[in-house]
Structure 1
């Protein structure tokens, strides 16, 4: 009889001990200190869920489950974001949003996609109702009058479009963000900008949000315009740039449509494939050119899946061959949004994967299985591969 090596895998006993230890650590976790650090108040119902996510994280950590750890962290961050949003609402809206938030979390925990979508839809309805109230309410007469310039155009006002589509920028506005954009626009070498172009940009993002309930922050598109430097989103496949990539599209209407198709397609890809993308980015942080945790700006930058709503297929491609283009866009977006880039990435990464799947399915698009890997294919700003830097690429 041959000796058989004993197995010390995840036996029921070890699982029970791991769960008990995680429960103990989660129960002992100092939520009061965390609330102070986060500058946020956790009501009793939120504390219960926060401890659950802490416990899930500890269990995943004990099992070496990095994906499980990221999921628990993302759910906790999503709850904090929801609490911040609710803190700005009137009491009646807070109560309703709390109910829908709990419904969503219960559905997420049980895998009930139908209930998750229903809770998401109810939450949108509450936000839209608040937006309609806010836009129809006059400013109180007792508001103090000052001579100081107001930043109202850049505030994340509660419009029916929601948090990530703020009031329209004014080309001659007085806020720091508006003045920054105008100053940068003076450097555009091909296409000039004005209020009409800004207005059309805002209306296009609102149209997408109304149709698909996913918000493209127009300030991100303005950041891309600044980064490209021409005054165009550089979407022309016939008018090529010096580095051989897409160049200036002189027809602004076409440029705007193609830019939104590309960015929205990238966002759908990020919502659906983002978890796998982030895993590979984190795994390859040791490679030159790959940094961070894998955000929407890197995903847009590099050769990753694009869910094309117009051609009803999934393509693969970069917005720009320059390997650090996404990092630069993120930095510019921070200047236009008062450092909201990380929060916007959290907003997109917290959208249910099923949302992207349902949108694609409604258009007859099948989302294929994708493999992400690190490749030494980054270019410099002149289109040269001599820098020998890496990106994360996704293909079938």
Structure 2
């Protein structure tokens, strides 16, 4: 009989040793250095949870469990994002949000889904309460301070990641100026009509991203895109091409919304990480026809810039539309729907550190390559006719 080399699964002893080693490494992990790197203060209650997630990560690593490693990393990143959010809260709200955050993490660790949902609901209630307070105590608007020499914004007036400027709901048959304007303009969509159900689905889709990644996509930005696209669709279909050869109307709304949300979220993740270099290129090339302003998220979404693709796990450059003025038009419509909040939304995105994108990308196994941003004479109008104008594009 032939000798066969025996194989062994991990024994209880080996598992115990791996766990003990993970516990030791997590206990000695230099949180002080990490806080300095993250530019964030970890209170005592959060430190114990961050060490727990470090330990979970080390255990998963020892077992070759990549899913477990990503889960632990995502939980740690979520807690850091929560801590950043809480720094903008008044003391009473910080205390309440701390309680609900610990409640959620405890429920997550034990698998208590009902308790997790209850904690999430309580967290939303705190944000809504803060929103009411913010509205009732808002001071009269002041003239904006302009600093031409700095790329980074002054952050004293930045609205918080809780998305206080975003209404909890938007009514298709509502009475506000924004609601009436959207309905009036959407009535032109005879083939793909809009209704309250579609709006509710849009709000819920962006809320899900907020809850999962702690980044707020303003749903009114997507409403502005719907109006700008002019068909009642986000025009995400690769099979039903438009007359100009670009992606056309997608008749399946669920699929249309999913693809649009994914594209815009991927663009926003890219803007958080690559935005500083993009803005510098815009300012540097203002003398070229078609390139104006200081560079913002609307231009970034419009032009050929890096998109972080969560599904395919890669980063690639792409446009939302070839029309050189698409971004400006979307900004204008967004201002109508939001009450001139485009600059505040821009400031919110600029307040997010690059590490937010880095941590999300790392948790999904996505590498962030280096891009350079330069002008390119590729401008088109809405009919895809070459205009001779310039845009800023990303190149590896």
- Alignment of structure 1 residues 1-396 onto 2, 5 Å: 111-113=37-39, 115=41, 120-124=81-85, 126=93, 131-133=124-126, 162-385=163-386, 387-396=387-396
Matches of 1:389 and 1:115, distance apart in 2: 46
What are structure 2's unaligned runs of at least 5 residues?
1-31, 43-76, 87-92, 98-121, 133-158
What are structure 1's unaligned runs of at least 5 residues?
1-105, 140-157
- In structure 2, the partner of 1:155 is none
Query: Could you tell me whether the CA contact under 8 Å between 2:289 and 2:390 is conserved in 1?
Result: yes
Aligned length: 271
State the 1:243 CA deviation: 1.0
Matches of 1:230 and 1:252, distance apart in 2: 12
Please list the CA deviations of residues 207-260 of structure 1 after superposition, one character each: whole Å capped at 9, or x if unmatched: 000000000000000000000010000000111111111000000000000000
Matches of 2:302 and 2:206, distance apart in 1: 20
Please list the CA deviations of residues 169-211 of structure 1 after superposition, one character each: whole Å capped at 9, or x if unmatched: 0000000110010011011253100000000000000000000
Higher relative contact order structure (alpha carbons within 8 Å, sequence separation ≥ 6)? 2
| Matched position secondary structure for 1:298 | helix
| Matched position secondary structure for 1:250 | coil
Matches of 2:182 and 2:305, distance apart in 1: 29
State the 1:111 CA deviation: 3.9
Change (3 A) 1:160 1:172: farther
Query: Could you tell me whether the CA contact under 8 Å between 2:161 and 2:215 is conserved in 1?
Result: no
Query: Could you tell me whether the CA contact under 8 Å between 2:127 and 2:164 is conserved in 1?
Result: no
Query: Could you tell me whether the CA contact under 8 Å between 1:131 and 1:160 is conserved in 2?
Result: no
State the 1:112 CA deviation: 4.0
TM-score normalized by the length of structure 2: 0.64
